[in-house]
Amino acid sequence: MSTLSRRSFLRHSALAGGGLLVAFTLPGCSTPPSLPVPRESGDFVPNAFLKFTADGAVHFYCPRDEMGQGVTTGLTTIVAEGLDMAPQRLTVALAGAHPDYANPAMGFQVTGGSTSVAAHFTPLMTVGCQMRALFLAAAAKDLGVSESALTTDDGMIVHGENRYPYAQFLSTAATLPVPETVDLKDAADYRWIGTAFPRLDGEVKATGKAVYGIDIDVPGMEHAVVVRPPVFGAKVVRFDDRAAKAVAGVRTVVEIATGVAVVAEHFWQAKKGAEALTVEWSASPLDGATTASLRADYAEALAAGGEEAESTGDVAAALDGATKTVDLEFWAPFLAHAPMEPMSAVVHVKGDSAELWAGTQGPGPAGALVARHAGLEPAQVMVHQTYLGGGFGRRGTLTHVVEATQISKATGTPIKLLWTREDDLRGGLYRPASLLRIRAGLDDDGRLAAWDAARAGSNITPETIRNSLPALLPGMPDGVVDFMVGLTDRLHQGWVVDHSSIEGLYEDYAVPNLAVHHATKEHGIPVTFWRSVGHSYTAFAKEVTMDALAEAAGQDPVAFRLAHLEHNPRLAAVVAKAQEAWNGWTPAPGRHLGFAAHHSFATSVAQVAEVSVENGAIRVHRVFCAVDCGLAINPDIVRAQMEGAIMYGLTAALHGKLDFEGGAVKQSNFHDYPILRINEAPTVEVVIMESQEAPTGVGEPGLPPIAPAVANALYRATGKRLTELPLNDALRLA
């Protein structure tokens, strides 16, 4: 019998890149739904991903959700390459909910963790190659020739001078067994993978034809707005709905688990009714809390030591014997995701069935949640997936779907629930705030000898499990789910370190003596994954510290990093590529350069930022970005993802914060939670490293290095080592 240590649990339970830690398979708990692929007479549907029609059309059902990251283009390219057909010739649809669309990296149907291309590359290439082999076999049978006499070219069977469309052999192909094993296409023969071409969803988005969750309108639909507590943890004591019901168009007022819903004929009527509603709330443990008091609690937890996550060598002795040391404390505030499309869902509970229309990062779990709260089996719920107007982790938590289900069940009508921007900023889920401390020491040769890092804050994973388990275990009673959630909380309170909360804090550079601790401090503020998860703040702390160490050692900051990357060749390669830009870059007068590098989601990124301070505010003029993401399926999308991550990361680095006052979030909309404006956007140059390694993530890895690169440039510009985010606030207070 083997034993499980705290550290081995951490290593074996954490999904690479900071994804969800749990996946459950419970055979027999429910009847699996039928495959949500519409078909007509003559259609050939050999699997969950492809449908061939008699008129020659090929439909691809994309198993991951399109939130602007280009996944429909990327995954279509992979399957089309195996099929030997131009991706532009396939018709792409967003897949509905079904076990066959589970994310191979996570075990259930969810999009996140920059896993889509990496997880689906081999499975979808295999599907494409299987179908190509099947059509070759069908053509050989119909033409009465040997398969060796045939080849393919862009959806055509080629025999000598003759060319035949795949569709000509559809009837025969449908009678043949799909080959279980096939040789995958050799990289040297790729025609579309590695080639930049326009996104496949570009036209429908540019012309307004793309359907998002907020666009859904179904017959008989009513609109709902939910009044939620101003302070997390408060509950409804009583409410007076007389003024709300007096608003024209208001149909009814319904109490649900998270608050009180006002239902009306139109959204604006529901909103005005919600404003007229009087609700008395219970007390909350958060009453009176402020950002300062929360931070003080983190400081107390950090001083107490926390739980050990990693330990190598003797860090205390190494620090005592260090020639020079650096000791820095870092602060990263709560952040909202702020996707441009507000949270919304349409649910119709009909009695023995239900329908859901929404753009989510998990249509499978979303359908299961509807089933749980409607008292149905998952197979009785039809999920209609739409485009997502931004996700960043926010649309992986489905409380809005639960709310819409509870309201529809109470009213018996289709309900469209829309969260306003104020609802989401003041009552949503956030990236957790973090207080971090790094003590590091150099030996006599100026090499890194000791690294002692710690982080205090709430855990990311347990809250995600709290929201996910009801969906992942739809057949389990609430009491069992509550027990498992409670067990998860207890584990992370004193035995298991939440890897998502400390990832990226210590892994990149070689150091002989290392210690990492995590101090859990929960306040009941709901948190979840935010773009690049823990890397979004750990990279800031790590890379600012590395710059301070390079200065203490009297070394060039890029050369200092390279000296500690002998064991990490892919990160070393992007650092070396960025070093070329660093060495050849002469900034304009008044501007200064900063450098940072980070590895996350199996991808290595290095960045150089050119920064100035103008009228007391930070201006980022230019960013160079080198990225190794393995094989780049579509280089143009890789560049776009790096550019987008840099802009999103700059928003957080320069402006992003949520403040608490009296237990409530102060910010409410873009006037006090600003997003990077176009006049603030820097020029970005992206260099993609040539590679034939397996593709890795690109949606998130471009974000972590930008904040430290800017902070390191600001040190050269001002002589002030800024260790708190957002940097504009830190600069004003320095």
Query: How far, in Å, are 360, 392, 473, 650 from residue 372 at the CA level?
Result: 17, 26, 9, 40
Which whole number is the average pLDDT over 58-69? 97
Asked if residues 648 and 655 have their Cβ atoms less than 8 Å apart, the reply is no
Residue 9 has pLDDT above 80, yes or no: no
Domain 35-206: top CATH class: alpha beta
Assigned CATH topology for domain 213-284+343-418: Aldehyde Oxidoreductase; domain 4 (3.30.365)
Asked if residues 731 and 618 have their Cβ atoms less than 8 Å apart, the reply is yes
Residue 244 has pLDDT above 60, yes or no: yes
Q: What is the pLDDT of residues 661-709, one digit of tens each?
A: 999 999 999 999 999 999 999 999 999 999 999 999 999 999 999 999 9
Instruction: List the beta bridge partners of residue 332.
Output: 434
Burial class (CB in 10 A: 0-12, 13-18, 19+), 289: buried
Residue 496 has pLDDT above 90, yes or no: no
Q: What is the DSSP string of 11-59?
A: HHHSPTTT--S-----TTSSPPPPP-----TT-B--SSSEEE-TTS-EE
Instruction: List the beta bridge partners of residue 60.
Output: 50, 92
Residue 495 has pLDDT above 90, yes or no: no
Q: What is the pLDDT of residues 171-189, one digit of tens each?
A: 999 999 999 999 999 999 9
Which whole number is the average pLDDT over 518-526? 95
Select the more confidently predicted residue: 717 or 482.
717
Of 31-35, 134-138, 246-250, 570-574, least confident by mean pLDDT is 31-35
Residues of the chain with CATH 3.30.365.10: 35-206, 213-284+343-418, 291-335+431-733
Encode 497-509 in three state secondary structure: CCHHHHCCCCCCC
Select the more confidently predicted residue: 7 or 512.
512
The CATH code of domain 291-335+431-733 reads 3.30.365.10
Q: Any idea of the CA torsion for 604, 610, 616, 617, to the nearest 10 degrees?
A: -50
Q: What is the per-residue pLDDT for 29?
A: 41
Q: What is the pLDDT of residues 428-453, one digit of tens each?
A: 999 999 999 999 999 999 999 999 99
- Report the mean per-residue pLDDT for the chain: 94
Task: Output the pTM of the full model.
Answer: 0.94
Q: What is the per-residue pLDDT for 492?
A: 77
Instruction: List the beta bridge partners of residue 628.
Output: 604
